[in-house]
Amino acid sequence: MKFGKIRIEDGNFIFAKRMLINYLPCKDILWAYMRREGAEGGMHKQFSTSSLVIITRRRKRYEFEMTDKEIRDCIQLLRVLNPELATGFPKGARIPLKSLPNTRDLGALIAKDGRHILPHRLLRSGCLYHISLQDEDTLLDEYHLSTVVDFRTRMEILQKPDSILEGVEYHEIPIVDEETLGITRSKGLLEMLLGFDQPIDEFMQKQYISFVRDDFSVKEYARFLDVLLHQEDGAVLWHCSMGKDRVGVGTALLLCALGIPRETIMEDYLRTNRYLEDDLQHMIRLLETKMIVDNETMDKIKALYRVKEEYLEAVFETIEQDYGSEEVFMRKALYLTPKAIEALRRKYLV
């Protein structure tokens, strides 16, 4: 079939370059997405063009100007010929799942060197307890999920076990030990809120600092990064209970290792507030039927569903205070040598 200046025949993506006809096997394409330049509308109509961008297994990038329909049809055919093809430009956005509000694809986030994270490989999430069958199919068929890393304690896992997906490998990597109190308490929500007697923001910052200062937590994050370093095919999904605190810090450390700018890391971290807003409002309405929700209690409820910039800033400040730089922390605390970091980047950046 012909799409603009390219055609697809016998499983090959065929195009002309420097007066030569090139035959690229469709199975050698890693990623395909639409790119737009310019804008339309408003008082001064501007010229707009659309292009199909493809990234190959050899990390070569090609761009072909086409109509939007040609691009959509081409990508659809490419996905048939190469089911493992990553498509779209998620840029860390939420995966539209029915039962998981805070599951995201880190694909298309851009590193300082201009490379992008390959979509459909790195997924952050809340727990997979009572995941719907439709969402299971999406993760397995579209994202080719092959590995799940659970950051929760053994007690949390027993209370809300992950749904077991066929063919997926599971790793239990608890970021805090079973004796640690706080956001991983086994108490019910009401009991926890009523018994909590310290400023919530101060408590949360201490929790975050402990993630990169406590020996147990740091070694568990090192185990997590080692799983990613040795991942072969398919996507890795890591989660805690809600995908905000332990996952937020773990994701930030991973993005640092991949060379993602601090501003982008913070943007990804703060997206949690948008994706968990509906859950927060539901919990507020539920608690209002059981108790008087004053301002202090409201702040505590919000802390369970929201993150703040100063929490993650406390992590970076602690790393710089204790180790001098992120690079030294990566090497000494997370056992990521420059060689290992480069291997991690080769695996997940294109």
| Stated length of the chain | 350
Around Cβ 131, how many Cβ atoms within 10 Å? 20
99 domain residue, yes or no: no
According to the model, what pLDDT value does residue 121 have? 98
Q: What is the CATH number of the domain that holds 172?
A: 3.90.190.10
Residues 144 and 34 in one domain: no
212 contacts 315 by C-beta, under 8 angstroms = yes
| In-domain check, residue 96 | no
CA-to-CA distance for 213 and 209, rounded, in angstroms? Answer: 6
Residues 73, 144: one domain?
A: no
pLDDT of residue 110: 97
pLDDT value at position 39?
A: 58
Is the same domain home to 205 and 267? yes
- Whether residues 43 and 144 share a domain: the answer is no
71 and 123 assigned to the same domain: no
pLDDT one digit per residue (tens) for the chain, 350 residues: 999 889 999 999 999 988 899 999 999 999 999 999 875 555 555 667 899 999 999 999 999 999 999 999 999 999 999 999 999 999 999 999 999 999 999 999 999 999 999 999 999 999 999 999 999 999 999 999 999 999 999 999 999 999 999 999 999 999 998 766 444 444 555 566 556 677 888 889 999 999 999 999 999 999 999 999 999 999 999 999 999 999 999 999 999 999 999 999 999 999 999 999 999 999 889 888 887 778 888 888 888 899 999 999 999 999 999 999 999 999 999 999 999 999 999 999 99
Q: Tokens 């990521």 belong to which residue?
A: 336
Among the candidates 56, 87, 118, a domain finishes at: 87
Residue with tokens 């997370």: 334
Is the pTM higher than 0.95?
Answer: no
Q: Report the pLDDT value the prediction gives residue 298, as an integer from 0 to 100.
A: 85
Q: Specify whether 276 is located in the same domain as 129.
A: yes
**Is 142 part of a structural domain of the chain?**
yes
In a domain, 97, yes or no: no
| C-alpha dist (Å) from residue 85 to 30, 79, 121, 141, 258 | 5, 6, 11, 11, 22
The answer to whether residue 277 sits within a structural domain is: yes
Identify the CATH number of the domain in which residue 65 sits: 2.30.29.30
Residues 6+ apart with CB under 8 A from 261: 111, 112
Q: List, in sequence order, every residue forming a beta bridge with 98; answer none if it has no partner.
A: none
Task: Give the pLDDT of residue 294.
Answer: 83
Task: Indicate if 139 and 83 belong to the same structural domain.
Answer: no
Structure tokens that stand for 200 in this block: 């919530």
Do 115 and 262 lie in a common domain? yes
Report pLDDT for 181. 47
User: Which structural domain range is residue 223 located in?
Assistant: 104-348
Q: How far is 270 from 262, CA to CA, in rounded Å? A: 12
In a 13 Å sphere around the CA of 31, the CA atoms on its Cβ side amount to 25
Domain membership flag for residue 81: yes
pLDDT value for 187: 53
Distance CA 56, CA 58 (A): 5
Residue 184 resides in a domain: yes
pLDDT for res 219: 98
Q: Within 13 Å of residue 53, how many CA atoms lie on the same side as its CB? A: 19
> Which residue in this structure is represented by tokens 């707009």?
48
Q: Is 345 exposed, middle or buried (0-12, 13-18, 19+ CB in 10 A)?
A: middle
Question: Is the CB of residue 129 less than 8 Å from the CB of residue 159?
Answer: no
238 with 147: CB under 8 angstroms?
A: no
Residue 38 lies in a domain: yes
pLDDT at 44: 55
75 and 119 inside one domain: no
Residue 178: predicted pLDDT = 76
**Same domain, residue pair 212 and 115:** yes
Helices (H), 47-105: 68-81
User: Are 178 and 264 members of one domain?
Assistant: yes
Q: Are residues 111 and 10 in the same domain?
A: no
**Per the structure, how many domains does the chain have?**
2
Can you read off the two tokens belonging to residue 291?
């108790």
